[in-house]
Structure 1
Amino acid sequence: MTVKEKIENLRAELHRHNYNYYIQNAPEISDKEFDDMMHELQNLEQEHPEYKDDTSPTMRVGSDLNKNFTQYSHKYPMLSLGNTYSENEVAEFYERAKKSLNEDFEMCCEMKYDGTSISLTYEDGKLVRAVTRGDGEKGDDVTDNVKTIRSIPLVLHGNNYPKSFEIRGEILMPWEVFEELNREKESREESLFANPRNAASGTLKLQNSSIVASRKLDAYFYYLLGEELPYDGHYENLQAASTWGFKISKAMRKCHSLEEIFDYIKYWDVERKNLPVATDGIVLKVNSLKQQKNLGFTAKSPRWAIAYKFQAERALTRLNLVTYQVGRTGAVTPVANLDPVQLSGTIVKRASLHNADIIDGLDLHIGDMVYVEKGGEIIPKITGVDTEARSFMLGEKVKFITNCPECGSKLIRYEGEAAHYCPNETACPPQIKGKIEHFISRKAMNIDGLGPETVDMFYRIGLIKNTADLYKLTVNDIKGLERMGEKSAENIINGIAQSREVPFERVIFALGIRFVGETVAKKIAKAFKNIEALEKANSESLVSVDEIGERIAQSILSYFANESNRELVNQLKAAGLQFQLSEEDLSNHTDKLAGQSIVISGVFTHHSRDEYKDIIERNGGKNVGSISTKTSFILAGENMGPAKLEKANKLGIKLMNEEEFLDLIS
């Protein structure tokens, strides 16, 4: 046997034994025999580097070499799921899917693992890339670290897998490993990890993969993507993936009714506490991939899936003080300062009180014993008061403040809103800094090297007073400042310079206009095409844009009515930011559907509903949700709802099928 053949045989045997141990729970050899084989392979590979293989079992040991992470764009965006804690909302989700599909469907129920999301790409049966979720559009390439996780196959089993595919899952730290790691950190008098999710996420981002290997991370997989998947069923695809070597939860079930779904939820709300890893809910997915495509997506999440979160853990502690924070929009949030209490794996000292109405409803007094909840391990909130625990030592009643705690301005409260606002948006320090922090954030201008602490420092010493001042900074202005060497200064200035290439829709989002989020900013950019047209827009033209109502329109009008905001935009224009759609974007738009209001209904073959909505907008049309006398025509697929069909016939609205529509805009 040649050296190359011996190396290949050892690799094949180690992959097989690893699969038997970590996936099948059926080891054939002892740990010592496995380790001896691994050492033999390591020695052979060191002596013969010409036979190097990036998917060798020896990659699981990791390396002491530090390696910076690079960003990698996801082929398919990694969207988040809509969340609910209510069985009524689960029922509403089920009924919406039933009504939209208008045909039989199965629902796949599975555990919602509480770790850090990962996307793996395999080609020709080998792992080629592992990328974190990041911002959903792109994430960090952590392939070297992921190769150290023994439950993730480097080389697939069998031969019935697609040539190229992506599989998504959750990287987890088992409870047993988490507790042992914290015991070790405690013995060294180091800060403890708050929970297994934070521990897993922090470990995956370590630059020394040998330390990652020592942390014994695990992984479960829940979503298969690709052009040539074996089945139309999500459940069936994952069962196939389990035969290729992936760890797929045995708790997955296909349900055919709401009753079966609620039985599943009830069972796992109790039984999950016996699992070796952390979970925080149940995920429900329409099983058929074809039906998923037809249900489509909202701006942030799929319409064919929802996460049911288990009810929050609750704790009782003392309220010591209420302080107030001012956000970038001027909203003032009351914060309860508490005696420290353990809750959902973390120590809680502060909790949101949201607004004045919540405070009045709770009848809060300083010194009260209050109930604190942390739903899904998000920001803790006070949900009740133990009035029976009150004593003669009770402090004064909590009353919402009347003036801004930062600049002293008289607070205002808009009709129909619960929050109080500081109106001094151009001179209130937290609002100015908040607007700058929003401006530089990843989903806005994405300026590398800048963060809240650096913004605060630049503002305090007078280097910047608004976002436009960032573009006046030089390396000499900032090098030598606290924790700011020449290299750091150059990185910041380069990041600011590169942000001049950020596209128009993200610049609109970065301006921080109230109620204008990412999705609305994209709609505005497509509709008005440049900042001059947006500045001149009136209420009627704004409301005619899809997803813009009176409230958003009024906010945009108010923004540009403010002379300080108009001057800021002019300064940003002078700095060279992109305040119009690119030539490429403009070339993708036509006026073929200009002035037409179109309703989409039914199931389609060539494109999903969301894709048709985008096509309509790119050709100047407007998507509307309900049929009226103003409807130009209905893009009608199969299984169109009978109520819509009846209304269309009654009003004499034209029905256009898929082929006719594609001919129209071709």
Structure 2
Amino acid sequence: MAPTTAQTDLNDLLEIDAADVGKDDAASLLLRLAAVLGDANTAYHTNDAPEIDDATYDRLKRLNAAIEAAYPDQKLANSPSDQVGAAVADKFGKITHAVPMLSLGNAFSDDDVVDFEKSVRKFLNLDQTTPLAFTAEPKIDGLSLSLRYEDGVLKQAATRGDGAVGENVLANALTITDVPHRISGAPAVLEVRGEVYMSHADFAALNARQVEKDEKTFANPRNAAAGSLRQLDSKITAARPLKFFAYAWGELSEPLADTQSGAIARLKALGFSTNPLTRTCDTAADMIAHYEQIGHDRADLGYDIDGVVYKVDDLELQRRLGFRSTTPRWAIAHKFPAELAWTTLDAIDIQVGRTGALSPVARLTPVTVGGVVVSNATLHNEDYIAGLGGDGEAIREGGDLRVGDLVQIYRAGDVIPKIKDVDLTKRPDDAVPYVFPEVCPECGSAAVREAGDAVRRCTGGLICPAQAVEKLKHFVSRGAFDIDGLGAKQIEMFYHDDALPIKEPADIFTLRARNDAALAKLENRDGFGKTSVKNLLDAIDDKREIPLSKLLFSLGIRHVGDSGAQLLANHYGSWDALAQAVDRAVIGEGTAWDDLLGIDGVGAVMATSFLEAFHNDAERASIDRLIAELRVQDAVVRDTSGSPVAGKTVVFSGTLEKMTRAEAKARAEALGAKVSGSVSAKTDILIAGPGAGSKATKAASLGVETLDEDGWLALIGDA
């Protein structure tokens, strides 16, 4: 799927280094950042449907702040730096907060925490010998809520909104068990502030109920809690297992205590749930130590947190410190890296892929990492489990992975979660080393690891149901045949269907010719009706004509990916020519082998794998049955002999103003260039737009030719 304009713009912004931004570009970049961050605020605070993860949001906010610091005269009147939350939704009544609900400044490193303590001491004119206490408490990843009590009776409940005006959710707040309806011994006016959240166990149970009812599931506990609190029907909220931690206050008719810690203790005495991990710290080192301990124990808390909040404990000092435009000077949030979390390795399962690879998968106690609930992670191969890297060197200091271990998970963007580390001090006494299977768990065939290969593979081939199903899933995937109505779920169903089985690709194209009784029976299956069956059969027929390159890619031959399939198609031109060539070829010798290796980009590994697939009698027979059902289009190879960039490696960086990044890449590839995502010694040309940043610096150090967008367009001209 091609990236949207918004995604492309976001990716471009993330590549920008603030140090490389000049004054001429500052204004336009600040406008773009304001638009992206404004949309993100609305998605998160108003719609309860975040579109970017916290780490990306924080990076953009820091970029925005850095540009504003460098060019203060370019700061926008409605700068994201001065905004809190987002406007309230129209479906709720509005409540104006008597005391604004402000956000917190962020710390992302230990140095930031040290700087926070120094800034507090400097503002108060306190030297290092003067005692200064702070509280440190987990930062709950939920939805902020303010509860207003008058004479001990709950009168109002409001969300943060934009900090000044929130949504009236009183009817829903009354359904939360942790929210007292009446309290005694409190000030006449008391606004209690805290966070509404959902525990991991309750979240999993809620999603299971949503699946049973065939309703939308939630991405993570925060979304579930926010969506539940902001229901127009309070009965729905009442059916959702929401919880509430109190940690602050707004308007008061009289003080709760002299200190932050004392006020929290008072709230607990009044009947509110407060977080038991709140501690009092005397130094930045104490705060950091508590942060590290909470981060380490995060997986066992049973609810999501995304950092630790530090506050000056003395309330009189808080008053003296006061506020900046949107944040207090006396508090800061020390954020966890959004892609890291600790959890328990519950099991190790083996999945068999389309090439027979036995891939170990970690089954984890669910944990939120970067805004996504993670319950599985890749374990790569048997060496990785044993604590060895690809070069045979020790990883994780040689620590192997065992069921029951406490492991650290990481992910970046949409990358599959992986295990980064293991805490051997928390290893259960009964944990035993994992023994990697030497037979396929799906078909019982021998699982062999060849010399030089990091992966153990099933030798069952087509008799292995796992390989057959995965090959079929690949065959109908988006980059291959991409048949509407026939995805992974339907492939699983048809593969195990006795009346209309699909065991190999050719079977897909014979569905229409099967007996009418079986097709009629299909119409009564879940997800199928008379119209959907007709649409599926029509969609299959629409894909009987296929380009040669897509056909080769769809076969799922090991080492033959999308680009490799294109290279082979361009070289042989037609199916008949390719089939005749592979029939003549002998692996490792002869003219046909030399011709295959002569294709630029095709090496011995790909060539061997390609020929082995066609020389396997059963696999070749399956391919021939498929070809009998298709019309294979010859490859259309554009003549790039006159192209000024044919054979060159080019890299695009920064902002392109006259075409999208996708369009520029397609144009370059059509002219015979190879487009790379990173600059290296093999790069021939860097096309650098505004904000090119580190790639431009590296290109200069390597002596790579660098062009701006106009120079690039002048180079390629009308070619």
- Could you say which TM-score interval applies, normalised by the shorter chain? 0.3 to 0.5
Q: TM-score, normalised by structure 2?
A: 0.45
- The structure with more radius of gyration: 2
Q: TM-score, normalised by structure 1?
A: 0.48
